[in-house]
Structure 1
């Protein structure tokens, strides 16, 4: 616990420049005497922070100090900056200020090596970004949240949850949280979360019952061995979606062999190719797709 607090004190001083002992004591919920002991421990490790008394006194780094040879190698410093830079890819708040300060302290120029934007196109991007920031705040501050959640059939229901982490998977953001309605962990897709309320109710610990974030294939239904044929012009879509090992290219197209659970995703995936996929086996999958197409055709004939 003490080592964690020492690093947090260093980070706080890097961010603010200086702080008073009572300020740090209140922030880290320890006594002023403990803060002074922490300052001594940090100084003993070779990092010159010091405390000055008086009205304008406080705790700060020695002027012009460079956190360098006594603590990190050049490679370690570059790795630290690279890691923090990667946070900017998910629009992590205030990361640019942190990068500038550490770059100055390490005396290393920044390398513009990564740029990623997970937000969607159009007007939904700002709403999703605000949701991201609210959920991040609820996780860091361990605050219970409430929201309306729409399931795959469009039915909405109020959920009260204890937020655990944010997950990016297969082109979408999810909130992984303990759902008080179901007394279990659940995964909530961002696009289905509406009217989020960040409550003032705090929690300390998560319930111990927890399993993998995403369901395993055997938990999703019967596994099916598929053999499929595709023409050459859809190769880009196959490589975007499937593992390379499942795809065999020939002169006139692709043969795909894979094992997947029988879910709506499987049928949506196959039907997204229209007439550019041939189901070699199993035959019952072909029959079910025929039934789905016939149902869609009958629907539009009746409209």
Structure 2
């Protein structure tokens, strides 16, 4: 819980400007001694917070200060901001206004690594996601080894900008300086990742042109209850309902395309397609083609 408390203490001082150890202790449900220990911890991390004695004293955050570059390097300041933004599993949700003030304190942008307003579940923690998250927040270029059905394996030098979710899955928004273009790279195609010593100035990914809406049909697919993790990973969990008999059911208007066929094939024969008939036929034909190709 301590990481979350340290972040909240910093947010409290950013909002109030000054407070007392007694008020902070009461608000966070800790002892006054713990408050002073937290102040020392933040001070040791390079955050200009101090305790002032006297009638008008209290715990303060040094006003009008942007961290001197001579005291902390840009990378050090990014690491502190990153650590406070992460806060661990026990931390409370960051306060956007305070996070912006904290970014200004460190003279850093408060851009998030994950696209705001994304649909579906965020990608689970793994080495690849953690590597990209840190590279995006710290603005370091990376070299990725990608797999592509047309190009095979290839390497690409990128400036990672943001992780986003699309109907087809999770992608990395990036700028590729050698090609001089912005690209949307599927996370599932990233096989290897390697950091570089190069950093880059924050930039925004261009607005994507709206796609032409493909014709949709009402899709109804039934899954056994034991497939809950796999089903939620493949589809937006808000479209999955639990039936009275315990089974899961996907019920949604969506395009009948190859991406949907591939998802259902990956989920195996337990996926019972109720409608539309053309989707059931496409999945069956694709499964038959795979079987015949392996005879």
- Normalised by the length of structure 1, the TM-score is 0.47
TM, length-normalised to structure 2: 0.48
Higher RCO (CA 8 Å, separation ≥ 6 residues): 2
